[in-house]
């Protein structure tokens, strides 16, 4: 009997290892989506520089998350932080049926996705080495602290019952509000706003490239959300529900933005439709495990409108965000987290659950947003007053690619 039990356990570990490894690879591949999306949304003279920033996210951020980040997030927590190093070999208290090493890798994908949100908002004007320092601090300390609160079994939000299944708050709201603070300190691109205060459009150089990046992100999200089950055995109903909700919300987000831009401007704005799809994905990420399919569609429809309004709002506030990172990830990360308190099939306000879950969701996402914004603001101010964060006006006019790398993204040869 003991032999059969061991064989069964081995099979469970094997199946779950394949599942989590596949999802982790999809999440890692999302970095290609970030790179192409952001490159397409900036001018040709800066396309390589934004890809370089995503490379910095993966390399510098990956090492920082290995050395200290993972230990801060998933070590023995006092509710607010832990202090371990590397990949711990003890039981993390999460009921894992995969190795700690594989769990580290899937969590790495979440950490570098969060900082990649920030990279787009700083496009075309930030020094690369200053950005690298920011990445190390973000992936080594900032993101792990939030992950500790949300996903460590002893984290103060986890204990309170905060539901952020795959990171609308811990990844997207955090990255979005960090991007907001960084963009404010960095300032707008030259020529973005006139002396009279008018906003000037600076179009991206390659919308098909950006569209391909969006499709890669969309594809990767089906590792991002379902992979948060951390195992396939016994979770087939959960995984199925998460996949369906993820798709429905994203499709609804795209549809909402199509209608909104058509009736607002007389033409469909395909760049905003891309952001509408991503907004739907961001907004469903927190509650994809607890809402029904109709609720997922409603959440996506709201997100698709909300992202349009947020882009206009931040533009009026003269926050220069070339890819709409704050609107897509910050605003809709906040909305998606709060939406759980309304739409959760069990505990949601609209389903007779009262306000307890809603209050918990509000406390969690507001705390994460304020923490991310304030720490990033302080860090950017320190970098600005020491090594500097912005390239010179001459370098900005010439383009970062030629100045920093001595190359052009496209040649006639």
DSSP 58-80: HHHHHHHIIIIIHHHHHSS-SSS
Rg of the chain's alpha carbons, rounded to an integer? 21
Structure confidence by residue, pLDDT tens digits, 101-148: 999 999 999 999 999 999 999 999 999 999 999 999 999 999 999 999
DSSP state of 67: I
DSSP 327-395: IIIIIHHHHHHHHHHHH-TTT-GGGT--SHHHHHHHHHHHHHHHHHHHHHHHHHHHHHHTT-SB--HHH
Q: Could you give the C-alpha distances from 213 to 130, 179, 209, 220, 348, in angstroms and in order?
A: 26, 19, 6, 10, 34
Structure confidence by residue, pLDDT tens digits, 358-367: 999 999 999 9
What is the reported pLDDT for 28?
A: 96
pLDDT > 60? residue 17: yes
Contact in structure between 250 and 296 (CB atoms under 8 Å): no
Tokens representing 72? Answer: 């801060």
Q: Express as a percent the part of the chain with pLDDT over 70.
A: 98
Quick one: which of 89, 61, 95 has its CA closest to 75? 89
Contact in structure between 30 and 217 (CB atoms under 8 Å): yes
Q: Rounded to an integer, what distance in angstroms lies between the CA atom of residue 363 and that of residue 371?
A: 12
Structure confidence by residue, pLDDT tens digits, 212-235: 999 999 999 999 999 999 999 889
What is the reported pLDDT for 1?
A: 63
| Residue found by looking up tokens 């792990």 in the block | 144
CA 366 centroid distance within chain: 16
pLDDT > 80? residue 198: yes
DSSP state of 52: H
Per-residue confidence at 61, pLDDT binned at 50, 70, 90? very high
Structure confidence by residue, pLDDT tens digits, 171-196: 999 999 999 999 999 999 998 888 87
Q: Could you give the C-alpha distances from 394 to 49, 182, 388, 391, 397, in angstroms and in order?
A: 16, 22, 15, 8, 5
* Partners of residue 315 on adjacent β-strands: none
Domains defined for the chain, CATH in brackets = 2-404 (1.10.3430.10)
Contact in structure between 14 and 233 (CB atoms under 8 Å): no
Q: Rounded to an integer, what distance in angstroms lies between the CA atom of residue 72 and that of residue 348?
A: 31
pLDDT > 90? residue 6: no
């Amino acid at each position: 009997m003991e032999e059969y039990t061991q064989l069964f356990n081995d099979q469970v570990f094997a199946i779950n290892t394949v599942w989590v490894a596949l999802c982790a690879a999809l999440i890692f591949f999302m970095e290609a989506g970030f790179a192409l999306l952001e490159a397409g949304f900036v001018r040709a003279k800066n396309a390589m520089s934004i890809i370089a920033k995503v490379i910095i996210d993966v390399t510098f951020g990956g090492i920082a998350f290995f050395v200290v980040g993972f230990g801060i997030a998933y070590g023995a927590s006092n509710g607010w932080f832990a202090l371990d190093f590397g990949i711990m070999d003890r039981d993390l208290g999460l009921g894992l049926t995969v190795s700690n090493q594989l769990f580290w890798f899937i969590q790495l994908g979440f950490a570098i996705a969060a900082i990649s949100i920030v990279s787009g908002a700083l496009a075309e004007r930030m020094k690369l080495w200053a950005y690298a320092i920011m990445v190390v601090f973000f992936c080594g300390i900032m993101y792990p602290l939030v992950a500790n609160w949300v996903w460590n079994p002893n984290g103060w939000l986890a204990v309170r019952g905060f539901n952020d299944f795959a990171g609308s708050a811990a990844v997207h709201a955090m990255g979005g509000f960090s991007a907001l603070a960084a963009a404010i300190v960095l300032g707008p691109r030259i020529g973005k706003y006139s002396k009279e205060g008018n906003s000037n459009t600076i179009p991206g150089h390659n919308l098909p490239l950006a569209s391909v990046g969006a499709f890669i992100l969309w594809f990767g999200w089906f590792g991002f959300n379902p992979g948060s089950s951390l195992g396939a055995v016994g979770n087939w109903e959960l995984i199925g529900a998460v996949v369906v909700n993820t798709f429905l919300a994203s499709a609804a987000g795209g549809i909402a933005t199509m209608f909104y831009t058509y009736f607002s401007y007389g033409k469909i704005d395909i760049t905003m439709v891309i952001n509408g799809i991503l907004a739907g994905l961001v907004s469903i990420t927190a509650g994809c495990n607890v809402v029904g399919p109709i609720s997922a569609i409603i959440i996506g429809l709201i997100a698709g409108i909300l992202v349009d309004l947020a882009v206009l709002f931040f533009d009026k506030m003269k926050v220069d965000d070339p890819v709409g990172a704050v609107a897509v990830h910050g605003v809709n990360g906040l909305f998606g987290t709060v939406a759980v308190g309304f739409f959760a099939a069990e505990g949601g306000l609209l389903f007779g659950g009262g306000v307890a879950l809603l209050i918990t969701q509000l406390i969690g996402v507001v705390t994460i947003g304020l923490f991310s914004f304030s720490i990033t603001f302080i860090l950017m101010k320190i970098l600005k007053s020491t090594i500097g964060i912005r390239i010179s006006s001459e370098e900005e006019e010439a383009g970062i690619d030629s100045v920093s790398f001595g190359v052009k993204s496209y040649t006639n040869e």
